[in-house]
Amino acid sequence: MDHFPFGRDSFDPQPAAAAQLWRHVVDLLEDERRQIAGRDVSVPVDVRDLRDAVGAYGFDRPTPALDVIEDVAGLLRTTTVHTTHPRYFGLFNPTPTQMGVVGETLAAAFNPQLAAWSHAPAAVEIEAHLLRFLGGRLGYPEEAVAGSFTSGGAEANMTAVLLALTKTWPEYGEGGLRALKGRPVMYASAESHLAWLKIAHATGLGRDAVRLVPTRPDLRMDTRVLAEQIAADRARGDLPFLVVATAGTTAAGVIDPLHDLADLCHDEGLRFHVDAAYGGAAALSDRLRPALSGIERADSITVDAHKWLSVPMGAGAFLCTDGEGLAETFRVTTSYMPAEIPDTVDPYTSGQQWSRRFMGLKLFLSLAVAGREGYAEQLERDADLADALRGRLAEKGWDIVNDTPLPVVCFADPGTATWEHHDALARTVVQSGRAWISPVDLGGRAALRACVISHRTTAADIEELVQAVGEARKGQVRRARTK
């Protein structure tokens, strides 16, 4: 076994060697699960040392499999921000469910090709069933739901733009932007995820076709300003076509005024998309679902399973009720693809990707094992822990500066309002290894941001964070006095 695997066995080892390899991997993963809470959330990384370690593999000769696995696991363990840690309060990167990890393994082993239904009937039907379930929870009629799993929210949101262009101007599909009589423009909140700029670049709209609408003091899109911007653009000869609402902004977790925006889009004849990449998960909870009221009026919705639904990267989803519109946007016919099966949809004809991984399996297994109510319990627990964090921070004299039912907590030191101060506080906490948080700019106000995103987080972890930021603040005060 010392020399496993070499030669042809590298690709398909003998059963005994393969069994030993898998036992080792399972033991390693289980050890990681047990030990993660006792490790630092992140550690400093020396770039040169890391590159030397990786560069030691010149691939000029084979290396024993177990040695390589141990090396890579060690690198991941010692140089990664551990998003699976219970005190990772960072971006929307959750601890994946165990069944999600199993799903990734099964998808890789069976390796179904989801371009055509005939190649992967079970995989395609599993994903279609999931999309109907998610769409139904978000308020769409289940039987009408269409869409696709995507690499993430950026691809799903690009799908929304392409569909909106195609539905607004049928000539766009063949003639492109040159077939239009003016320049299309779209609207999103200044607090939205700025993937919209990359999408506008990639689609040929141009980055300045994205109008970033100012927010109200509560950080929600200002519908009055939006209406004024639409009128001004039309007066200049531009062509408004799409308004994007965010349900759970990255910085503050706020939800734009969905009903107001839906009304405005209806009156103005514009497409309405909701980027619920993070907040859409709340639809699985009967208690949290009312926060998304109005999302069912959207022409399309983005939800990322690899955010608050806690499955491994990457698994986004695009949802709508216009299957024919999707087909018009992505349909293509070639002689080398299998013939379409009646009463089925080939995924490559309804989404941007062609060859595609079985991304939905990890969510299917997680939902099947936990059940919707199990998911709802966890989502509500995260929200309760965030409420507890808000309460403890307020008791310690911090200002809570965002308002959301979702578990994103933004808080500021009333003693010093500068960005430099809050950035230093966040760095002190992160460098301690006790927790991971980030500084954030909310409409010009500096703050700290903590998101409860791990199903491993407990009340004790919340208290550890409160103590860590408190000690960081005291240290900043001491340093300021000695200057």
pLDDT of 383 higher than 90: yes
What burial class does residue 466 get, using C-beta atoms within 10 Å of its C-beta: 0-12 exposed, 13-18 middle, 19+ buried?
buried
Contacts of 481 (CB under 8 A, 6+ apart): none
| Whole-structure pTM value | 0.94
Taking the C-alpha atoms of residue 137 and residue 51, their distance in angstroms, rounded to an integer, is 46
Just give the CATH number of 373-482.
3.90.1150.170
Instruction: Write the pLDDT tens digit of every residue in 136-194.
Output: 999 999 999 999 999 999 999 999 999 999 999 999 999 999 999 999 999 999 999 99
What burial class does residue 24 get, using C-beta atoms within 10 Å of its C-beta: 0-12 exposed, 13-18 middle, 19+ buried?
middle
Q: What is the dihedral of CA 95, 425, 381, 153, to 10 degrees?
A: -50
Instruction: Write the pLDDT tens digit of every residue in 236-282.
Output: 999 999 999 999 999 999 999 999 999 999 999 999 999 999 999 99
104-365: CATH class: alpha beta
Which tokens is 317 given? 């989803």
pLDDT at res. 9: 61
Of 403, 424, 399, nearest in space to 412 by CA: 399
pLDDT of 218 higher than 70: yes
**Helical segments of 64-203, H only:** 65-79, 98-110, 121-137, 153-168, 172-175, 195-203
Query: pLDDT category, 125, cuts 50, 70, 90?
Result: very high
Query: pLDDT category, 6, cuts 50, 70, 90?
Result: very low
pLDDT at res. 337: 80
Taking the C-alpha atoms of residue 363 and residue 305, their distance in angstroms, rounded to an integer, is 7
Average pLDDT over residues 74-78: 94
Of 37, 36, 54, nearest in space to 45 by CA: 54
